[in-house]
Amino acid sequence: MLDEVHTVEVDRSGFVAEYVGQTAPKSHKLVDSALGGVLFVDEAYSLVIERGEDPFGREAVQVLLKRIEDDRDKFVAILAGYPRPMQRLIHTNPGLSSRFQRTFSFPDFSADELVQIFDLMCNKNEYVLADLAREKLQAGFETLCHRKDEHFGNARLARNIFERAIRRLAMRIAEMTPLTRDLLTTLQADDLEIATDSDG
């Protein structure tokens, strides 16, 4: 279907300009950069603000719709985001609902899959997860999966917990001597901060 294998990933900031008259040229330039490949619009629902007037966002949508029609054989446009806000976006403009007729829903990751993602991050960055830390991680992900809402973070959740764990590890061993490779690379249960209360 495509001449090239490149993807341009963008969000609202890639389309919408700061001043009147700049959004359309900026949006056209963005679509031009995706010709021959894929234009992937992440959090696409943010293109049009839910409340109040948003002429810039609506202008960006109009440009996108026109380019999808005029250049329909030259690129693929994918709009991505949470289900309900995406439904709202699609219904803000008849052109969106007529041009984006295929919807793919991806299920959230399970607790086991989130642990696997965390493991991949550990392996990539040469960290090791201690047994007790793994048990804490598994239990925390199970609780978070049970309490999730439509804004559940999925892999981003695992990445945030991983990055916090690295910072907490660094603070925990800051004054230890001598520093060994095991100390520097082993994540312990105390390094894992997993918000599992009603606010987390």
What CATH class is the domain 111-191?
mainly alpha
Tell me the pLDDT tens digit for each residue of 106-124. 889 999 999 999 999 999 9
Tell me the residue ranges of DSSP E strands in 11-157: 38-41, 76-79, 128-129
Cα 131 to chain centroid, rounded: 29
Q: Which amino acid is at 148?
A: K
Adjacent-strand bridge partners of 187 = 129
Closest CA to 121 of 170, 198, 176, 185: 185
Instruction: Go through 97-115 and write b for each residue having 16 or more CB atoms within 10 A of its CB, e for each that does not.
Output: eebbeeeeeeeebebebbb
What whole-number distance in Å separates Cα of residue 182 and Cα of residue 165? 15
Contacts with 115 (C-beta within 8 Å, 6 or more apart), sequence order:
134, 137, 138, 141
Tell me the pLDDT tens digit for each residue of 1-32. 777 779 999 999 999 998 888 999 999 999 99
Q: State the fold for domain 7-99.
A: Rossmann fold (3.40.50)
pTM: 0.72
Tell me the pLDDT tens digit for each residue of 131-174. 999 999 999 999 999 998 877 888 999 999 999 999 999 999 99
Task: Give mean pLDDT, residues 56-61.
Answer: 92
Q: The tokens of 74 are what?
A: 């030259």
Confidence of residue 54 (pLDDT cuts 50, 70, 90): confident
Cite the residue boundaries of each domain of the chain with CATH code 1.10.8.60.
Answer: 111-191
% of the chain exceeding 90 in pLDDT? 68
Adjacent-strand bridge partners of 7 = 38
Confidence of residue 51 (pLDDT cuts 50, 70, 90): confident
Cite the residue boundaries of each domain of the chain with CATH code 3.40.50.300.
Answer: 7-99
Instruction: Specify the pLDDT at position 152.
Output: 82
